[in-house]
Structure formats: structure tokens, C-alpha cells
Amino acid sequence: CSETVGGIAHYNHGMMTLYSNVYWFSQLRKSVSDVIGIEATQIEFIKTLSVGGRTNNIWYSVIVLVQLALAAFICGKPVKLVFSREEQKNFIDKNMPVVINHRTAISPQGKIQTMIISIAVDGGKYNPFIQEIVDRVVVTARGIYNSPTYKISAYVVSSATSPYQVNFQWLDSQVAFALENQIQRICKKIGFLPEEFRRINCFPSPISPFRLDLSNYDKLIENALNFSGFSRRYASYQLAAEKRQKTGDLSFSVPIRGIGIATSYEGCGFLCSDYYASSLNIKVTMEIDGSVVIHSYPPSASVQQIWVNLVSKMLEVSSENVRVDSNFDVVNEPKYPAGFFGNIGLMTHLLKKCCTGIQRQRFRHPLPISVSRGITSQQKKQWNEENFCGIPFYDMATGAAIVEVELDTCTYKINIRNMWIVVDGGEIMSAPRVFATLKNSVRQMLSSMVKGEILDASNIEIKLLHSSSDSKQIGGLVHNLIPAAFVSAVSQAFGKDFESLPLDPTTIYQPVIDLKNQSEPEGKLEGKS
């Protein structure tokens, strides 16, 4: 469960104090100031403890805090408001509906010739991030596959529904699912093995407007295939599925199984947004007593520990003397919310540059020494905003996932037998934390794969490719991998294409009924439930 939205507001002696785990301080300060009519310097935030990821909606919570502040201002007393679990589910935890259409032309040799993609997103009544949504889905929809010609259209539709939360991780997941699902259908249609088709078409086109680093793609997919024995399992399950389709035989002496594969990436540091690229920075200060302060939005507990260990090692100070300070004055308050575009990998890289800068000065200049680093003008130029082309992300992690499923012959429910994940995330600073993050993300995704059911995967194997490149953000990578791999496996097991998520149990069960009706005389199933 995600943490419910809420907070406490108290107006006393001309100061408005807000207690909340809200992440968008600058917008909250501006909104409260505009609504109540007080100066921005009269507003104080005290960030409360949170459960970490999936805490609350980034901008919807601002609306709730403004209402709290207004009530406290009018009443002259402290006001507390926390959404109930049901209210959180109905009004906050609502992702924007997305419909994606793919049309693809393939040559007899299995090369993609043309891709036509249309994306429609329901943005609700209003949304402050329309431009970022459109840019993001277009870049993600292009994917990692080479196509000489293509057309991508994206629309955000205004509707009468209440505003939806903005979750770029979820949007990326839907777009990646549609692309990988289309690739799987193509493989089935033209008779190519999934890994064979991906290898033919994964190389970046020299005319592609979005330049992605896929240098390790062959190594990635090779490790995934060897790790899981995918080719052997896929061929075996495909033969069994074709036999069931031809004969209608549902003999349960042999388990009904399927296996699917998906490859994708997670971009970190979305350079397409001018606001994001211009406002992202981190500052590190070495105080007179030798302690070190990291001035940044509060990271998660695992990332904070990694940062503390990194600074401790680079500056040769005790980890007890390293802390994160998230208190900003009005002038220096970041314009965008923490982690909005996924920037942990980038922030870690900037943190290293700050430490290097302090190390060069610490024996030449008196303490305290402060060093601030952000995205350079040269890095910003990697993306051409006018022509919408170039390098869209500061860096990106790539991954492959393989999911094997089996039909429970008593309940007709889907069980996940095995799951293999291979990730190229650059330098790994803490392998145990990476494994824990990935497995936690997998279980989050499995809770939304089948309507009304929470799937479990007891056998999850993860392999991290060794790399000397900078650490990359990988927390959302499995969100782009698991849905497509899971649906591909289910489609093979049932011999039916599934095109939307979450899967409906009645839709899953229907292919079994259809096969049973083909193999038995009409009316024989009469009276059965």
C-alpha cells in the first residue's frame, strides 16, 4: 500500500508551519502564498518521515496542503487532514489511462521497415505536466528497435475526470509494454524466435532522432538466454501450444506452460525538459570541524547510505561526520520536485564531482569549502529542443527479463514458476541493496498484473553485468520489463494474444473454455460451472 496523502498546518504569529512528506516544496510555497496572501518567507516546511517509494502523489498532495493551510489560517488553530485508505485509492492512486496503437511493416528477412505509433493519454481535468508527458511518451515509444521510417503521434486528452497523478515510471511501463507486446506478436506471426528478431533489429539507426547507448545489448541478451535456458524452453512450450490449438486437447498429464522475454531501458535525467536540466544541482560543504554536509532533497534510506559511504571514502572522513541537509531557503529551493524525472544516478555522479572539487581545494584553502555541481551547458546541448532530437537522457540502464508461467489445472489460475532478470546498471555500489530494490519492484508489478489477484514469484534470479561506467538508476527498470515478459508467457501458454493490463481472470479463463468446447461434443459441458 502507498502512504496516504495528508499533513498538519498551523498558523501562529504570522508564520504558517506545514508538516508533511510532500516533495514539491517550491510549488507548495508559491500556492500557499498565493491563496492565503502571505509572503513566501512566512511559510515553513517540516518534512515528516515517510515509507520511501510510492509515498504520495507529487502534485496532488500540494492541493491538499493548500486546503489545510487555508483552514488553519481561517480557524486560527492547528488543522490535521489525512486521507483514508479508501479515499487514497479512489482519488490519489489513479494512473492516467493510456491507449497505444502499433502498426508495423516487416520485410521477409525479419527487418522492421516502418513503425506507426499512436498514443492517447487521459490527463484528467487539468495537469501541470502536459508537455513533459507528451515528450516522455514519444521518446519511450521509439524504443530500442531500428526502423528506417516511422511516425509517432501522442495526445493528452482533457476529460471531466478528477486530475490524475503524474507517474512517469508508470507511463514508461505502459509504453514499453505496448512496444514489446507488438514485437512478440510479430515474432509469432512471421515465425522468428524472439531473441533472433531482437538481435536483427536492435541496432540503432543512424537516422534515428534519439541516440541511445545500446553498446552492451548483445552481451545483455546473451546473458539472459544462457541464464534461463530460454531458447530450449520457448521451443518446447511453443510446440505444445500449437498442438493444443490444433487438437483442442487439454490433457493435463503435461503441464501447460509459457515463457516470455522483454528487453528495455530506464532513462535517468530527462534532458528534454528545459526546467529539469536547468535546475538540477547538488552542493557539498566541508565544515571547519571536518564534517561534510550534502545539500540535497532527502534521498531514500538506501541511497542516503550509499552517498554517505561514497563521501566518507572520497574525502577520507568518518561516515558519522557526513549528513544530508534538505533545508533550503526560498531563493535556493529547487524548482522541481525530488526525483520527479528519476535522477538518483545523475545526482550520485554530481556528488562525486563535488567531492573531487573539495579534495582539490581542501589543502589549499581554509575551511569551510563548498562546491556545487549541476548539468553543464555542454551536456544540455546534447539535446536539440527545437528539432526534438539528440540524447534524451543523461544516462540509461538496460535490462532483460524472462518470465515462465504455468497454469494451475485445478483453479485455472496463473502461477509464476521462474523469473530471470539481467541488468546493466553501471558500477554497482551495493549489490545487496540492488537485489532488494529489484525484487521489491517486481512484487509491486505483480500486484497489478491480474485484476483482483496478487501474484507471487518465489524464484527470482537476478544477474548484474559488471561495468566500469557510472552508476545508473535501475529502480524502475523492471517496470518496463516484467509486464511484457509476463503477458508474452501467458499468451504462449493459452495460445491467445493479450493486449491490455491488468489481465481479467474471465478473459484468461475463456481460451480454456474455447479449447474444451472444440474437443468435446456440444452440450457435454451443460450443467458445469
Read out DSSP for 342-404?
Answer: --HHHHHHHHHHHHHHHHHHTTTSPSPEEEEEE--HHHHTTEETTTTEE--EEEEEEEEEEEE
pTM, to two decimals: 0.85
pLDDT at res. 250: 58
258: which 3 cell numbers? Answer: 509459457
Strand order across the beta sheet in which 98-106 lies: 98-106, 112-124, 149-158
Q: Longest C-alpha distance within the chain, in Å? A: 91
Q: Which residues contact 126 (CB under 8 A, 6 or more apart)?
A: 158, 163
pLDDT in tens, 346-400: 788 889 999 999 999 988 889 999 999 887 777 778 888 888 888 888 888 899 9
Radius of gyration in angstroms for the set of CA atoms belonging to the chain, rounded to a whole number: 25
Please enumerate in sequence order all residues whose Cβ is within 8 A of that of 477, keeping only pairs 6 or more positions apart, or say none.
264, 265, 266, 397, 399, 423, 425, 438, 441
Task: Find how far residue 36's CA is from the centre of its chain.
Answer: 36
What confidence score (pLDDT) does residue 342 get?
55
- Which backbone phi and psi does 390 adopt, to 5 degrees? 120, -150
Instruction: Output the pLDDT for position 125.
Output: 83
Query: What distance in Å separates the CA atoms of residue 273 and residue 414, rounded to the nearest whole number?
Result: 41
Which residues of the chain have a pLDDT value below 70?
Answer: 1-2, 50-57, 203-207, 248-254, 274-279, 336, 338-343, 510-529
Dump strand ranges (E) for 426-482: 460-464
What per-residue confidence (pLDDT) applies to 488? 95
pLDDT single digits (tens) 35-70: 999 999 899 888 777 655 444 567 778 888 999 999
Q: What is the pLDDT of residue 525?
A: 34
Which pLDDT tens digit goes with each residue over 404-452?
999 877 777 889 999 999 999 887 877 888 888 888 889 888 988 998 8
Q: How far is CA 124 from CA 94, 106, 118, 161, in A?
A: 10, 36, 19, 5
What does DSSP say about strands 369-374 and 281-286: parallel, antiparallel, or unpaired? antiparallel
Q: Which of 94, 73, 75 is nearest to 83 (CA)?
A: 94
Whether the CB-CB separation of 125 and 158 falls below 8 Å is answered with yes
